[in-house]
Amino acid sequence: MLRRMLAATFCAALAVTTLPPAASAQVQAQAPAPNAAQPGAGTTLNVYNWSDYIDPYAVSRFQQETGIRIRYDVYDSLETLEGKLSAGRSGYDIIVPTSEPTFARLVRAGALLPLDRARIPNWTNQDPALLQRVASSDPGNRFGAIYLYGTVGLGIRVDRVRAALPDVPLDSLDVLMQPENARRLARCGIAVMDSAIDVLPSVLRWRGRDPNSTDAADLRAAEEALLAIRPHVRAIIASGNIMDALATGEYCVALTYSGDVIQAQARAREAARGVEIGYIQPKEGAQLWFDMLAIPADAPNPEAAQAFINFVLRPDVMAGITNHVRYPNAIPTATPLVNEAVRNDPNVYPTPEMLGRTFVATQLSAQAERARSRSWNRFRAGR
């Protein structure tokens, strides 16, 4: 419900977790007064970002410091983002596509504005080694700054899963993908995020196939694996709807993004109702992804967008974002400013050993994407 509200009109100066809608309307009425001394003051920046993916305080500070008002919409899958962009003239100034496949595709299609580094002096705060990792999607790092990164894995309700699977090590996608395990977990609830793009690579890897395979036999193997657990899956839903449900104990297992699980864990602890949530980064290889701050070529307010990117790349701002959303950022000088418990959580900042057991997605042909999406539809339908 809160997320829906944010989707409609998130005006940033709200304390996200507590303010009722009436209070948010009130805050919106207090949008920053235009200040002639600030370039861009009085204009609007249109941001389209993943749900539960920013520190609301960062948004309100940006508004206060620049006089630029933020209109904030959210999505919770790459499919939704791509759908919105493919219709053309999205009206957004900032989007946050994952480096592969969406961002790379936009780079190749000429759909993004090159970043003007002179306007983004904080660009150099980014870790060069991480920038190097995304350079295969964007040669020369011309079109995107790294926002946050993470993995795909399992959120589990620890005590229930232990009780249902007493002899199963909780370190692998086996917990969900072995049909016998899924059968035993069915009653306490299994959810899978609704995204062919971000689920199929992990399933291929679990089946011992190349996660980026375009081979029909590999795809069939992944689809068969998904269909085998389908009768036991209660919900194939938007990733944005999984977090709260996981936190309240509605599901025992959910396949989703790492930080969403850690946020659910934090919410469950706050609620203190005895729900303990854990994250499993699959030992057979987890998908590692990078989300990029980018500006659509037809952005109505590109100057404000560059100012926003520069602001977000500040170590203090980035540390606040990581503290809030539990995803790591690419700014080494932000790390000491991140809360100790968050900074030392290997499910937030994976250890080098854990990173060594990840893979990254690559570009697929349009034909291979369509085949994946057909497989996914059969999984959704259960046949």
The answer to whether 291 contacts ligand N2P (rule: CB under 6 A) is yes
**One symbol per residue from 236 to 255: x for binding ligand N2P (CB under 6 A), - otherwise; what is it?**
---x----------------
- Smallest gap from residue 265 Cβ to ligand N2P (A): 14
The answer to whether 52 contacts ligand N2P (rule: CB under 6 A) is yes
Q: Which is nearer to ligand N2P, 143 or 257 (CB)?
A: 257
Q: Which is nearer to ligand N2P, 50 or 251 (CB)?
A: 50
The answer to whether 62 contacts ligand N2P (rule: CB under 6 A) is no
The answer to whether 260 contacts ligand N2P (rule: CB under 6 A) is yes
Which range binds ligand N2P by CB under 6 A, 4-12, 49-57, 126-134, 353-361? 49-57
Q: Which one of residues 51, 202, 213, 306 is an interface residue with ligand N2P (CB under 6 A)?
A: 51
- Alpha-carbon gap, residue 173 to 140, rounded angstroms: 35
Contact 309, 293 (CB under 8 A): yes
- Alpha-carbon gap, residue 152 to 259, rounded angstroms: 9
- Alpha-carbon gap, residue 300 to 243, rounded angstroms: 33
Q: Which one of residues 24, 60, 98, 141 is an interface residue with ligand N2P (CB under 6 A)?
A: 98
- Alpha-carbon gap, residue 212 to 215, rounded angstroms: 9
Which range binds ligand N2P by CB under 6 A, 48-56, 162-170, 330-338, 341-349? 48-56
- Alpha-carbon gap, residue 52 to 104, rounded angstroms: 23
- Alpha-carbon gap, residue 82 to 99, rounded angstroms: 13
The answer to whether 48 contacts ligand N2P (rule: CB under 6 A) is no
- Alpha-carbon gap, residue 283 to 158, rounded angstroms: 17
The answer to whether 194 contacts ligand N2P (rule: CB under 6 A) is no
- Alpha-carbon gap, residue 101 to 133, rounded angstroms: 14
Q: Which is nearer to ligand N2P, 249 or 328 (CB)?
A: 328
The answer to whether 147 contacts ligand N2P (rule: CB under 6 A) is no
What angle do helix axes 366-381 and 196-206 make, rounded to 10 degrees? Answer: 90
- Alpha-carbon gap, residue 75 to 298, rounded angstroms: 20
Contact 209, 218 (CB under 8 A): yes
Q: Which residues contact ligand N2P by CB under 6 A?
A: 50-53, 98, 239, 257, 260, 289, 291
